[in-house]
Structure formats: C-alpha cells, structure tokens
Amino acid sequence: MRISRLVGDGHTRVPFWGAEHQHYPLLFQFMDGELRLLRTGPEHRRFLGRKLVTVGEMSNAEVVERLELVVLTVENEYSLPRHLPYHLNVAGILAGLGIVDDPASATFTLEDERGQREAVTLEAISCPDYREGVTVRYAEQIVPFRDKRVTESDYLWLSADEDRRVAYVYFARYPSFSGTESFAEDVREYLDKHRIRNLVVDLRDNTGGGFFVGLRFAHQIRSELIHISTQDCYAALQPAKGKLPAFTGRTETAALHSGKTAVPVIIHSKVSTL
C-alpha cells in the first residue's frame, strides 16, 4: 500500500478490500478538520457526532499522519481526507502501521462538545457483520421532496417537486452501463412528462472511478457536456484525450434539453435540501 501510494495515481493500488479483512464497527468523517463519528452500531449511538482524540495511546494527529502514507484511491488534495476515514476502521491497517498492538480490538477515545472524553473498546468484525451492524447514522439520509420518483438503486435515484418543476438526482455510485442507460431514459421521460424546469444532480457521495458511465447518463438527458463541479467526485479525467473540463470547486450551470425545453442544470457539492 505504501508503494502504490507513492505512485500518486488513485487507480494504481493494491486494494485491501479484495482480500479478507475486518473492520471496527464505526466510521468517521472529516468535518472542519476534525474526525467525527458519523456511523456505528445501535449500542454505541451515544458516541455519534463526537470527535476522535486517540486510538489506543496514539493521538489523532499521529494516527492521521501514519494513515496518509497508505491511503488508496487518492487523486488530489480533496480525495485524501475523503478516503482516509475508510482506512481508519480497518483492523489490519491499524495493526500494520503500529497504531494498535492487537488487531482483534482497539480503544477509541472520543470527546463531546462539552470537552468530556470517553473511551470505548471495540472488537474487529467481518465485512458482512459490519454491513449488517453499522446501521446508525449521525444524520439520516434525507430525500428531498419526500418521495423517490425514479429509482435505479439506493445510490442512484430521482425525486421531484412537480408543482415547482424541480427534480433532484442523488448520484452516489455508478451502476452498470446498461443500468445507467435505463435510468437515464426513465429520468428523461419523467422530465418531459412533468415539464421539469430545474434539475439538481448531487455528487457529494460519489467518489468517482467510472466517470464514463456518468457521461453516458449526461449524454442521454442533454445535448452538450456540462461543466461538472464537486469536491467529492475524483474520477481520473484526461482532458487532452476526452476534451473534458477540469474540476473547479465552483458551482456551475448549463442547459439541459428536455424535449423543446432548455432546463438549467446545477451540479454542486454543497446542495443538501431544497
């Protein structure tokens, strides 16, 4: 992992997820520079939102410093803090870096908003147990406009306010090429049928890797390439070959042609609810 990290290309890697491994039942995320607990099991719900202080006897800062040397799928300055937390709960990685002595368990010290600290010792569990048990979130997912109108999966769906002619697409993962084509066709039919005038595509949880699939989606619902902007989408673009615009970190708008109607499209990493 250290060697592949030195290459500096997020697509050159030795993925730990391809082999059997174990997780500690929690997931952190950077918020204003601090690692906050955003997901865990029901029995540790009270720790949600607290910031990480130490892992074992090691400070949060030193833990991050060691992890930065091995984090995979890093393309740029934005993807490093995005992907680092997904390594912080992997037992074998923490043991390999000397952060914990025994990968079977680890002690995490967390601090609440009053400055009160509490340590919790967690046993490492298998990937299936992790997916089944780590179900409690600090902030539950919100579906804008309440109901999903078009659904490809839990990671790709559309909701809308038909009265206001506004639609929202949650695009967290790239499906198969055929799945994308089917979803895009359903979305276009919905936009035409309900005369949708504004479309928001939310890429905040999309970590890239299959960007050509996303381009297929865009191609089917509009005629010209949109300038895409988000801090959480890290597909490895090759502008010289594909003539794709670079990410800018700003909000961008473009026209989407739905039937005879030009529809403004907003792709922005800060959209939450409307």
Give the E-state strand segments of the chain in sequence order: 22-23, 26-31, 34-40, 51-55, 58-59, 105-111, 117-123, 125-126, 136-137, 148-153, 156-161, 166-171, 198-202, 252-258, 261-267
Q: Is the pLDDT assigned to residue 83 strictly greater than 60?
A: yes
Region 186-191 average pLDDT: 92
22-57 in b/e burial notation, b at 16+ Cβ within 10 A?
Answer: bbbbbbbbeeeeebbbbbbbeebeebbebbbbbbbe
pLDDT digits (tens, 9 = 90+) for 129-160: 999 999 999 987 788 888 899 998 888 999 99
**Whole-number pLDDT of residue 118:** 98
**Percent of residues, the chain, with pLDDT higher than 70:** 80
254 or 40, greater pLDDT? 40
**Whole-number pLDDT of residue 78:** 83
155 or 28, greater pLDDT? 28
**Whole-number pLDDT of residue 204:** 77
Burial class (CB in 10 A: 0-12, 13-18, 19+), 7: exposed
225 or 81, greater pLDDT? 81
**Whole-number pLDDT of residue 209:** 66
96 or 199, greater pLDDT? 96
CATH class of 2-137: mainly beta
Are 110 and 16 spatial neighbours (Cβ–Cβ below 8 Å)? no
153 or 41, greater pLDDT? 41
Are 157 and 167 spatial neighbours (Cβ–Cβ below 8 Å)? no
CB atoms within 10 A of CB 213: 17
